């Protein structure tokens, strides 16, 4: 019962984060919301593990916490540079020399 | 060398905690994988006082205690501002000096600032840190430098 | 029984904090202030919910995993926030700042 209540609260938060991600207005707002959505997903998985009584599911939450972080940083890098393959510093030097 | 031993013990305890297996054969495999990771880390030369700061353990623990209290207080403050109708915030952008000598100390300080709701470190330079604060009060509280003094800093020159 | 009540309190408080943070990212006017609201939910909300779950599982491997999840969130959340703020500043997003008029008003 208490797990259901917590899961519902987390779902509402995720809904609010999703609404912000859809509304924008800047791309950074969207990434922020997606990051928050991801953190809440980790919590939801953790609560679900207890709700279903299979605590092995916690491993998934653990992995999701890591992937969420890497995903957010990767998307940020993509937006800042336009691709995944160059380092930011090199780009600046190229810009200066032009 | 102490770093390598401590890393081995930490990794093995992590493996034990995550796997939950206590049979001799599986523990042997766990030891093997731990040693493999430590070997790789040694070859990559990533084990040093920065990646594995055991010399700061005691000071870090007491700093975390202080930080936990700060986080709870700052959270309550931000929640109040969210729930206060009307204009409850006064965003500020302030630049503070970085008293820490080591890179590790700077990173801990910047992370502590960001972890405390109401303040986010936006830019980290050599000697200064630019912080975005939600309200004038939180900016003023940070500018007193109380948190900066409590950050563990190993005192060695930055690499 | 006492543990159940404590768990209830922690889980509900954590859930409420999450919702308040969710309201915060809609209420605050610009990106940098929304960052603070999201930071609230990342720290205390996660801590409360995970503590609430930890009270139910007791001293088992599940609690160890909960501690690890919390540690990961605690280490990655400020890094992601800082990266976001830094990228936004370099991306040319001007933070909405408060100047002298607030001081006169308050």
What's the total number of domains in chain C?
1
Q: Is C50 contained in some domain?
A: yes
Radius of gyration for the alpha carbons in chain C, expressed in angstroms and rounded = 18
Average pLDDT along chain B: 79
Q: Percentage of chain A with pLDDT > 90?
A: 2
Please give the pLDDT value at position B150. Answer: 75
- Mean pLDDT, range A38-50, rounded to an integer: 89
Cβ separation of C73 and A42 shorter than 8 Å?
yes
Cβ separation of C32 and B120 shorter than 8 Å?
yes
Report domain extents, chain B: 2-44, 56-150
Omega prior to A25 cis, within 30 of 0: yes
Q: Is C106 contained in some domain?
A: no
* Owning domain of residue C61: 2-91
Q: Is C87 contained in some domain?
A: yes
- Mean pLDDT, range A61-68, rounded to an integer: 88
**Cα dist from C106 to B137, B143, C100, C102, C103, whole Å:** 12, 20, 10, 6, 5
Q: Is C99 contained in some domain?
A: no
- At C86, give phi and psi (nearest 5°): -65, -45
Cβ separation of B120 and C81 shorter than 8 Å?
yes
Cβ separation of C73 and A65 shorter than 8 Å?
yes
HEC readout, A70-89: HHHHHHHHHHHHCCCCCCHH
Q: What is residue C85's three-state secondary structure?
A: helix
* Of B121, B2, B101, residue with least CA distance to B53: B2
> pLDDT for B54-66, tens place per residue?
777 777 788 888 8
Q: Are A32 and A16 in contact (CB under 8 A)?
A: no
> pLDDT for B67-117, tens place per residue?
888 888 888 888 888 888 777 777 778 888 877 777 777 888 888 888 888
Q: Is C73 contained in some domain?
A: yes
Q: Is the pLDDT of residue C100 over 70?
A: no
Residues of A whose CB is below 8 A from C76: 65-66, 68-69
Please give the pLDDT value at position B50. Answer: 67
Judge whether B117 is closer than 8 Å to chain C, CB to CB: yes
ipTM over 0.85: no
Please give the pLDDT value at position B155. Answer: 53
């Amino acid at each position: 019962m208490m797990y259901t209540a917590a899961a519902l609260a987390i779902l509402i938060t995720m809904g609010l984060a999703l609404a912000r991600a859809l509304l924008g207005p800047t791309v950074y707002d969207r990434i922020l919301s997606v990051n928050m959505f991801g953190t809440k997903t980790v919590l939801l998985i953790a609560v679900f593990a207890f709700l279903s009584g299979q605590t092995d599911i916690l491993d998934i939450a653990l992995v999701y916490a890591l992937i969420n972080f890497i995903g957010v940083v990767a998307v940020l890098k993509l937006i800042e540079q336009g691709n995944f393959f160059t380092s930011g510093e090199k780009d600046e030097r190229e810009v200066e020399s032009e | 060398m102490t770093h390598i031993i401590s890393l081995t013990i930490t990794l093995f305890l992590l493996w034990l905690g995550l796997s939950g297996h206590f049979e001799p054969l599986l523990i042997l495999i766990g030891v093997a994988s731990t040693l493999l990771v430590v070997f790789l880390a040694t070859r990559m030369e990533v084990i040093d006082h920065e990646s594995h700061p055991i010399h700061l353990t005691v000071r870090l623990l007491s700093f975390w205690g202080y930080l936990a209290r700060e986080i709870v207080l700052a959270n309550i403050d931000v929640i109040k501002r969210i729930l206060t109708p009307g204009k409850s915030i006064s965003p500020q952008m302030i630049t503070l000096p970085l008293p820490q000598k080591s890179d590790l100390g700077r990173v801990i300080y910047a992370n502590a600032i960001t972890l405390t709701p109401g303040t986010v470190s936006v830019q980290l330079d050599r000697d200064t840190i630019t912080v975005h604060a939600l309200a004038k009060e939180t900016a003023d509280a940070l500018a007193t430098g109380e948190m900066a003094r409590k950050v563990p800093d190993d005192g060695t020159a930055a690499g | 029984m006492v543990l159940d009540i404590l768990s209830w309190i922690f889980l509900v408080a954590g859930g409420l904090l999450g919702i308040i943070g969710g309201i915060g990212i809609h209420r605050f006017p610009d990106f940098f202030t929304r960052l603070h609201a999201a930071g609230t939910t990342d720290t205390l909300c996660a801590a409360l919910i995970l503590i609430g779950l930890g009270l139910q599982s007791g001293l088992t491997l599940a609690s160890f995993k909960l501690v690890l999840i919390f540690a990961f969130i605690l280490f990655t959340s400020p890094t992601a926030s800082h990266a976001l703020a830094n990228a936004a500043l370099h991306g040319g997003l001007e933070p909405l700042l408060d100047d002298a008029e607030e001081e006169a008003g308050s």
